[in-house]
Structure formats: C-alpha cells, structure tokens
Amino acid sequence: MPVSSESRRLPRLRFNLWSAGALIIALAVAAPIFTVLGLAFTDTSDIWTHLYKTVLGLYLERTITLMFGVGIGTLVIGTGTAWLVTMCRFPGSRIFEWALLLPLAVPAYVLAFVVTDQLEYAGTVQSTLRDMFGWTRPQDYWFPEIRSMGGAIVVMTLVLYPYVYLLARSAFLEQSVCVLEVSRTLGKTAWGSFTRIALPLARPAIVVGVTLVLMEVINDFGTVDYFAVQTFTAGIFDVWLNMNSVGGAAQLSSVLLLVVLVLIVTERMARRDRKFHHTSNKYSELPSYRLRGYKATLSFFACALPVLLGFIFPASVLSHYALSFYEETLSADYFSYVINSLTLSASAALLAVVIGLFLAYAVRLSEGPWIKIAARIASIGYAVPGAILAVGVLWPTGALDQSLSWIGGNFGIAVGGVMIGTIVPIVYGYLVRFLALAYGTSEASLGKITPNMDGAARTLGSNPSQTLKRVHFPLMRGSLMTAAILVFVDCMKELPLTIILRPFNFDTLATFVYQYASDELLEESALGALTIVGAGIIPVILLSVTIAKSRPGKL
C-alpha cells in the first residue's frame, strides 16, 4: 500500500501560545545549568589545578561516603519497616503505617541542630551520664562524636528513610495477591517471602526511593556545614564565598552534575521498570503474617525507633525550648521571618502550580515530540542541588542587572538593582527546583481525564482555553491544591538556595534557625524550627490519607 509522503515527515512544531510557552519554560529551567557549565569551562583563573591537587579528592570521598552510608541506612530502615507494616500484623502496626512518615516533616538540618544540642558535651545526654556515673572530665569516658561523618549519616538517614518507606510500601501493596499466596503455599515463611519474592518485585520502586534520597543528600547544606563534613555542596559554597571564585565553584558544580546525571538516569530506568511488574490483576485484602512473642516485640521496636529518633525526639526538644524561650524568639523578629517564609513559599507555590499546569496542558495539546522533550527538560530541577542552582541563578541575574543599568543609562534613566535585592532570584530558584513536583502532579491528574472528554468539549463548542477552564480545571482542583501544598512546604524547608539568593536583610524561618543554631543559640530559634516542622506535617497528613485510600480493588 503506497504510503503518502506526508506520513513520513515528523509533525512540524506548530507555533502557538502553548508551544512557545513550553519552550520558554524549558529554557528558563535549563539556563542556570548551562550557565554553570559555561562558567566552568570559560574560567581563566588557574583554580582548577589547585582544587584538583588539594580538595577535589576529599570532596569526592566525603560525598560518596555520605551517599553510601545514607543509602544503605535508608534502604534497610525504609524497606524493612515497609515490609513489617504491610505484610505483618503486630501491636501498633496500624499506627506505624502512617507514623513512620513523620520524620519527613523534619528538615535534616533541624534534626542535626537538635541532635548536636542534646548529644554534645554540654548537652543533656552527656551531662546526665556524667551525673549518673560520676565522671567529671571528657577523658573519663568514651562518647561518640556527633559532629562527624557518622553523625551526619545517622541524622540524614533518620529524616530521609520515609522516601524509601513510601515507595517500598506502595510497591508491596501493588503486588498481586496471587504471587504472595503462591509463596505461602510453597512453604515460605514471612522472611522467605520477603527476600525471595516481595523484595525483588519491589526493586524498581526501591531504587527510585534510594535515588531520591541520594539527591537530597547531595543537595543538603545545613547538616554538612554544621557537622563540618566536606561534601561537594559544602565545597562549592566554600570556594565561591570564601575564596571568591565563581569559576572554581562552577567547576566543582560540573563534577557534581555528573553524579547527578548518573542518579537521574538510574531513577528514570527504574521508573520504567516499575510498569512491568504487575503479574496479574487479582487484588484483594493482603494476607498478613501474624507475629507473636519476641518477633512481635522486635518488630514493634524496629518501627518505633525511627519514629522516636526522627520525629518525637526533635519535636519534643523543640517544643520544650519553644515554650521556655518564646519571649526571646518573638523579640528576635519571629513574625517577620514567618511572613517572609510564607510570602516566598506561597508565591513560589502559586507560580509553580500555574506553570506546571500550563506545561502539562501544552504537552496534552501537542502532536510531535518537541513539547514533550521540553517538559522533560523543565522537570530536571529537582535533581540539581541548590548550591549549583544558586551559582547558575545569581550570576546571570547579576549580569542582567548590569545590562539593564547600562541600557537605562543610555536613556538617562537610573536603573538600580532590578533583580538583585528583590525576591525575584530566589523565587526563580525555587521554581527551577520545584517545578518538577507541580508538573508531575498536573501531568498525573490530567492523565486521568480521557482524551475523549477533550474531544467532547471541543465538538460542543469550547476552544482549548475554555475547555481548560470548564472541564480540566474543575476536575484537577484537588490535585492542584495538593501540588501547591507540597511545593509550599518544600520552600518553607529550603536552605541552601535561600541562604545565597535571598535579598539583603531578608531572612526566612529556615535561615533564621540556621543562623541561630550556628551561633549555639538553638533554644531561641526553636519556635521557628517548630513552625517549619509544623508546616512539614501537612504533606505527611495528605500522604497518609492517600495511602489509606489507594489500595487497588478496595472500594
């Protein structure tokens, strides 16, 4: 059958509002990364060899060690607790289903501050021990040094394992009952089913979870700075701010971007694998192993410990401090920090949701692959560490400011710092980093609306924009709300970008807490930290509710 010549041609990119907008968004997101790479390769100072000979190896080793430690830790805790809670019944297992998510509300640096505060020499724990055992000097006993690589690993593991827990849990729940029942009839114990069946089937989801954890590890600044662990992020800040070398920072960033690339590829491949792991469509109430005796006790404590250490412990310490020191906090301008945080986070959340929705709709309306590629590029921000984004955002905005002044100068208009000094760079940074979240939510929610509904609205006289307003938006409202909340909370917790990109004399709750904790004044900023944790609880609640409702086949 003859094939017409038109069919061979890849569909042309039609230029309309939607495609143009999508391309602009993609460029805006990619710009900081290209800036960094450009700065790295055009740097004329000789700092690279200096770095290479001195600290590069150290940064590499420290970062990899941290990634490895946290990776293993979250893998074990996340997967183990997910299995216990999903497949076994023991006292408290129903509560732990959602309680194990709580440490998500605590940013790593907050836990780091609290842990150090309590466990250092002058802290509660050691003082109590010394009182109990009559030791008077540090040489009398041994106590692990908190401010170390080990401490950082423990702290990060405790706040990041919920990522793996969530994904492993949903993977276990998705597994067809048949597979697990077969496993039992073949005589496998709980442990046997876990290692030979459930774990391998859930592997893609677990891989996704661990790569997300590792991305957060690379991104972290507050913890590694406080614990004096020389990771790449710490190094980038150091070279940039202390050695005043943007080029050097950019070069370090480029190396780190390679690591990020590996993580992204791993995650994408694992996500694709997930789709092929449903073996049958039969779902029903999962059979659970009833645990008794020492097994039940062990399981209880295995689940209780992460929740205790990752949430209850910091929350209670902070609450205690907040109550005792609220006067100091309030006099330290607490409310202005709250307002700053709220303003920034709300603006970024609103913009992210609008842009994410626009992008998702543009993809839906598109015919060829170009817009989809643009959307892919625009979703890269979540993997790029805040430090790198900071370099990539600050430099061009500074340059833009200078050119605006120059242009204005030619017209006799004095143009001051248009970008620098406003919240524009920081909101831009937030958008680059969190757009993926908003876009992903919009994409998933839009996917639930059948293409025939679009067609029905169009044939009934609605153009695409009217259809978006009358059909898509009402159906997506709930998801968009969720996306806005998630972005909002992530912005509230954000530290590395905020430290660099904030305007002069502008503090958010996160930077306020970081500043005070660095000055050994944690108690006075405890209310601020508690507020951040409070905001962080909201997504935990949302997630818990979603988990409870999402078992397929359950009415």
Partner 1 sequence: MSDLHLEAISHAFGDNQVLSGVSVNVAAGELVCLLGPSGCGKTTLLRLAAGLEPLQKGQIKINDVLVADGTNSNQMPPEQRGAGLMFQDFALFPHLNVRDNITFGIDAKNKTRRAEWLDHALTSMGLVGYADAYPHTLSGGQQQRVALVRALAPDPRILLLDEPFSGLDVTRRAQIRTETLRLVKQTGVATLMVTHDPEEAMFMADRILVMNEGRVVQDGTPVELYSSPKNAFVAEFFGPVNKIQSTVHSGKVKTPVGVFDADGQKNGTQVDVLVRPEGFRLANADEKPHAMPGDNLGNTSVVLAVVYARPLGRLSHVAFKLSTGQVIETRVPGLFLPSPGDKVSVSVNAHQAHVFASTTILEAR
CB closer to partner 1, 64 vs 453: 453
- Beta-carbon contacts of 489 under 8 Å, excluding residues fewer than 6 positions away, are 345, 535, 536, 538, 539
Decide: 220 and 109 in contact? Cβ < 8 Å: yes
Contacts 24+ apart (CB under 8 A), 184-192: 184/287, 190/87, 190/88, 190/289, 190/291
Q: What is the nearest approach in angstroms of partner 1 to the Cβ of residue 469?
A: 12
Q: Check residue 327 for interaction with partner 1 (CB under 8 A).
A: no
Q: Check residue 1 for interaction with partner 1 (CB under 8 A).
A: yes
Q: Among 24, 262, 453, 481, indicate the residue that binds partner 1 (CB under 8 A).
A: 453
Q: Check residue 13 for interaction with partner 1 (CB under 8 A).
A: no
Query: How does DSSP classify residue 195?
Result: I
Q: What end-to-end distance do the CA atoms of the chain give, in Å?
A: 49
* Residues of span 165-224 touching partner 1 by CB under 8 A: none
Cα–Cα–Cα angle for 76, 78, 80, rounded to 5 degrees: 60
Determine the interface stretch with partner 1 among 1-9, 45-53, 290-298, 393-401 (rule: CB under 8 A). 1-9
Determine the interface stretch with partner 1 among 174-182, 358-366, 438-446, 458-466 (rule: CB under 8 A). 458-466
**Which residue, chain included where needed, has tokens 């289903």?**
97
As a whole number of angstroms, the distance between CA 509 and CA 473 comes to 33
167: part of which helix (H) or strand (E)? helix 149-174
Q: Among 412, 450, 504, 505, indicate the residue that binds partner 1 (CB under 8 A).
A: 450
Q: What is the nearest approach in angstroms of partner 1 to the Cβ of residue 440?
A: 22
As a whole number of angstroms, the distance between CA 69 and CA 409 comes to 54
- Residue at 64: amino acid letter: I
- Residue at 149: amino acid letter: M
As a whole number of angstroms, the distance between CA 136 and CA 382 comes to 48
Q: Among 111, 457, 487, 492, indicate the residue that binds partner 1 (CB under 8 A).
A: 457
Q: What is the nearest approach in angstroms of partner 1 to the Cβ of residue 16?
A: 12
Q: What is the nearest approach in angstroms of partner 1 to the Cβ of residue 177?
A: 27
Q: What is the nearest approach in angstroms of partner 1 to the Cβ of residue 37?
A: 36
CB closer to partner 1, 47 vs 457: 457
CB closer to partner 1, 57 vs 369: 369
Total binding residues toward partner 1, as defined by CB under 8 A: 25
Residue 456 tokens read as 């029905």
Query: x/- contact string, 463-502, with partner 1 (CB under 8 A)?
Result: x--x---xx--xx---------------------------
Minimal CA–CA distance to 365: which of 22, 105, 90, 71?
22
* Residues of span 367-406 touching partner 1 by CB under 8 A: 367
Determine the interface stretch with partner 1 among 248-256, 380-388, 445-453, 518-526 (rule: CB under 8 A). 445-453
Residue 495 tokens read as 């530290």
Q: Using alpha carbons, list the distances in angstroms from residue 466 to 18, 256, 355, 438, 472.
A: 14, 44, 18, 22, 9
Cα–Cα–Cα angle for 429, 433, 439, rounded to 5 degrees: 125
List, in sequence order, every beta strand (DSSP E) within 212-291.
289-290
Q: Check residue 132 for interaction with partner 1 (CB under 8 A).
A: no
Q: What is the nearest approach in angstroms of partner 1 to the Cβ of residue 474?
A: 5
406: part of which helix (H) or strand (E)? helix 386-410
Q: What is the nearest approach in angstroms of partner 1 to the Cβ of residue 464?
A: 9
- Residue at 5: amino acid letter: S
Q: What is the nearest approach in angstroms of partner 1 to the Cβ of residue 8?
A: 8
Q: Check residue 549 for interaction with partner 1 (CB under 8 A).
A: no
Q: Among 20, 72, 330, 456, indicate the residue that binds partner 1 (CB under 8 A).
A: 456
Determine the interface stretch with partner 1 among 308-316, 447-455, 500-508, 545-553 (rule: CB under 8 A). 447-455
For residue 413, the tally of other CB atoms under 10 A from its CB is 10
Q: Among 57, 369, 455, 553, indicate the residue that binds partner 1 (CB under 8 A).
A: 455
Q: Among 130, 458, 503, 538, indicate the residue that binds partner 1 (CB under 8 A).
A: 458
CB closer to partner 1, 200 vs 369: 369
As a 3-state breakdown, the chain gives helix, strand, coil percent values, each rounded to 5, of 75, 0, 20
Q: Using alpha carbons, list the distances in angstroms from residue 438 to 107, 196, 388.
A: 20, 37, 21
Residue 553 tokens read as 């086949």
CB closer to partner 1, 187 vs 474: 474
Decide: 479 and 441 in contact? Cβ < 8 Å: yes
Q: Check residue 459 for interaction with partner 1 (CB under 8 A).
A: yes
Determine the interface stretch with partner 1 among 226-234, 369-377, 406-414, 446-454 (rule: CB under 8 A). 446-454
Q: Check residue 555 for interaction with partner 1 (CB under 8 A).
A: no
Residues at the contact surface with partner 1, assessed by CB under 8 A: 1-4, 6-8, 367, 450, 452-453, 455-463, 466, 470-471, 474-475
